[in-house]
A and B are shown apart, each in its own frame.
Chain A
């Protein structure tokens, strides 16, 4: 099946710094990628939908200036958490939909656990 790779898996940073998380589709082209956040013992929450070559669409309540999304190619989307604070500590997961795929199935990355000290 299709593979989505996310990097880094774990990141610890100081409050006020920025962190970039990469999401790559390794063996397929993804015109659409999704970014989720999951707090402990809670469900996935969609943060934004990233479309290749255009601006991301953010869900209500998600600050677009804080969570910068770039989808510059058909195989790479990045999420940058700017000026991270302890409340941003969470599990961030990306998923990708294969361009022209039949079922619209989403393929998930392994997730990135962010801890802000």
Chain B
């Protein structure tokens, strides 16, 4: 079956760095997405990786290793507004998005 694993919850301190991991087993691979979702709101797009390596976008970076079925989202200089759920999703061979359950990130002052 298809499976996406990410930690349920993480806690970090304001100003610090946090890495949220995602491992996947899917039928085919056409890219991996990271979305941010604040409570009660729809998800917003953060990043898309289809090739191995690190993609940096401001305070957020996303890394992909296709051979390992592994990705991480790196958040630097954490701010209180970064408290949210972070969703990892993989586009499979049928171009269907397979979603992880999300990682709730709690930022403490």
Contacts and interface: CB of A to CB of B under 8 A. Distances in A.
Contacts of B50: 103
B33 interface: yes
Contact of A110 (B41, B95, B102): B41
Contacts of B95: 104
A108 B48 CA distance: 15
Interface residues of B, number: 21
B91 A104 contact: yes
A6 B41 CA distance: 12
Interface in A96-111: 103-111
A44 interface: yes
B70 to A, nearest CB: 20
Given A103-B48, A105-B45, A91 B40 contact: yes
A44 B97 CA distance: 11
A43 interface: yes
B31 A103 contact: yes
B60 interface: no
A1 B48 CA distance: 14
B44 A104 contact: no
B36 to A, nearest CB: 11
A81 to B, nearest CB: 18
A91 B40 CA distance: 8
Interface of A: 1, 6, 34, 43-44, 46, 49, 91, 93, 103-111, 113
Interface of B: 30-31, 33, 40-45, 48, 50, 85, 87, 91, 95-97, 99-102
